[in-house]
Amino acid sequence: MTMANLIYPWVLISVHVKLDRPVIAPGHGCTPGGVVMKIHEKILTHYLSCTSPVDKEGYLYKKRERNTTYLCRWFVLKGNLLFYQERPGDRILLGVIVLEGCLVQACETDGQFCFSLVFTGPVLRTYRLAADDHLSQESWIGALFCASHFYLSMIVRDLERRYEEARRDKGLCDSIQTSAVTSTPNKIMASWNTGQPYFLHGTSIVPRDGRSYSTSSVPPPSMPNRPISYSLHAPPIQFKTTNKRSPKLWPKTNAHVTPLNGPAPSFGKWPVVGFDPLEEFSKMHEYYGNEIKQLRADWLRKKRE
Amino acid sequence: MRFNEKELVFLSRQPSERAAELGMRGPKKGDVVKRRVVKLIVNFLFYFRTDEDEPIGALLLEQCRVEREDDQVFSIVFLDEAERKYLFECDSQEQCVEWIDAIVKASYEFMRKNLIYYRTEIHRLTGKDPLEQYGISDETRFQVNSGLPPLPPAAT
């Protein structure tokens, strides 16, 4: 790999072909020269099709790379990913653009309502897109501008600071530990990373797949005022206390859930809630509990109809 | 499916939230543990052969479940399928815990929820929408999801 020191990375991509890698395979990049990085297509398509909200979708024209023609494509923006396909509802995805490291610019060179995604990497790749009208162009530019993970993380950092300021101004006790490193995984945060965000459970509220739940005789954690919403997720992180086993075997997850009656988990840099849950859990419970009540009411109403 | 591979490879070379050499095992039967350099950047987990600069692959850390499998081992399950369970062997309990923490917090959806929470709370405490100054208060992606009832009046 010493060649990497001598030539530019983008050149390396086209000349450095490892013999034990497939040249082209599904879910791999279509880079001429054959170097492939696996993107795990199914994980992406699952994210696209799951019930978390789509940030924007609609028809746009996309300029072909080696051609001057624009083709009409159905675009779906979710998180920091821009997917495109021929038509809405198509099962085949034509492609995805990961929106990190790019600028979004209106450009009128190709005509009206055009805009570009200009990537700032060594290749300076530019995707040229065009909307049907000015409103759509503005709307897409606005949505793409704030789509990156990097952007989101900056905003969250800022809001976290302002939240703490607002709380201080209100004279509210702030018991957040601000140290960045946690010694134990934050169980509350862990449950947020899984499955569908429960904000959007429009269907029946059932516990998620029971596989992850405790199979031991230890009862599930009972926390005072534990919000109903926790049962909608895979539970907090579990770990076994068995003897060391070879990781080569697939360990049955015979875990017991760490009891939450113990010491309060310490918070890391990104607390889901900015307060000590044991102190103000009833607040959080009420907040999310209201949402659940609303969803249930909607669901029951729909059921009756 | 096409994707902007070169740009992703470029991204994989940027400073990461976390990077380490770990034992990594794929989901298929017969997959064995291999030493890989694993790098967490935005909501992707890139993995490299230990002597290479180009990543072999990138795992999108959305819609996945991260679990502690053992003292020093954690897993990531995608699509709720055991067939898509990746194992990662760390060198210490502490490292294992830190990785789990970092991966959970790296998810776009996780961060979005935090943002919405802070936005709502700041609005409740101050009467102001903190996103207005950025000009993004109307963006769909930052809206409190529909169905959420208005918060009770701010506590004193």
Average pLDDT for chain A: 65
| Residue A277 pLDDT exceeds 90 | no
β-bridge mates for residue B66, sequence order: B76
Q: For A87-101, A162-176, A274-288, which range has the lowest pLDDT when averaged over its residues?
A: A274-288
For chain A, strand residue ranges (E) read: 56-63, 70-78, 81-85, 95-98, 102-106, 114-119, 126-130, 238-239, 256-257
Q: Tell me which of A17 and A92 has the higher pLDDT.
A: A92
Measured distance CA(A137)–CA(A113) in Å, rounded: 6
B129 interfaces chain A, CB cutoff of 8 Å: no
Q: Tell me which of A128 and A285 has the higher pLDDT.
A: A128
| Confidence (pLDDT) at A140 | 97
For chain A, positions 69-98, list CB contacts with chain B under 8 A: 79-81, 93-98
| Residue A247 pLDDT exceeds 90 | no
pLDDT in tens, A51-74: 788 999 999 999 988 878 999 999
CB distance A37–B55 less than 8 Å?
Answer: yes
pLDDT in tens, A116-141: 999 987 787 999 999 999 999 999 99
| Confidence (pLDDT) at A232 | 30
| Residue A80 pLDDT exceeds 80 | yes
State the nearest Cα–Cα gap between A119 and chain B, in angstroms: 7
| Confidence (pLDDT) at A68 | 83
pLDDT in tens, B97-106: 999 999 999 9
**What is the reported pTM?**
0.65
The sheet with strand B57-60 has its strands ordered as: B57-60, B44-49, B34-41, B18-25, B85-89, B73-78, B64-70
For residues B146 and A294, the answer to whether their CB atoms sit within 8 Å is: no
User: Within 10 A of A124 (CB to CB), how many other CB atoms are there?
Assistant: 10
User: Closest-CA residue in chain B for A20?
Assistant: B56
Angle separating helix axes B108-126 and B93-106, nearest 10 degrees: 70
Question: What ipTM goes with this model?
Answer: 0.90
B114, exposed or middle or buried, with CB in 10 Å at 0-12, 13-18, 19+? buried
Give residue B145's pLDDT band: very low, low, confident or very high (50, 70, 90). low
| Confidence (pLDDT) at A11 | 39
Of A238, A272, A293, the CB nearest to B113: A272
| Confidence (pLDDT) at A258 | 37
Give residue A169's pLDDT band: very low, low, confident or very high (50, 70, 90). confident
Give residue B38's pLDDT band: very low, low, confident or very high (50, 70, 90). very high
Give residue A198's pLDDT band: very low, low, confident or very high (50, 70, 90). very low
Angle separating helix axes A149-169 and B108-126, nearest 10 degrees: 30
CB distance A185–B104 less than 8 Å?
Answer: yes
Q: Which fold has domain A37-171?
A: PH-domain like (2.30.29)
State the nearest Cα–Cα gap between B133 and chain A, in angstroms: 11
Query: What domains can you pick out in chain B, each with its CATH number?
Result: 5-106 (2.30.29.30)
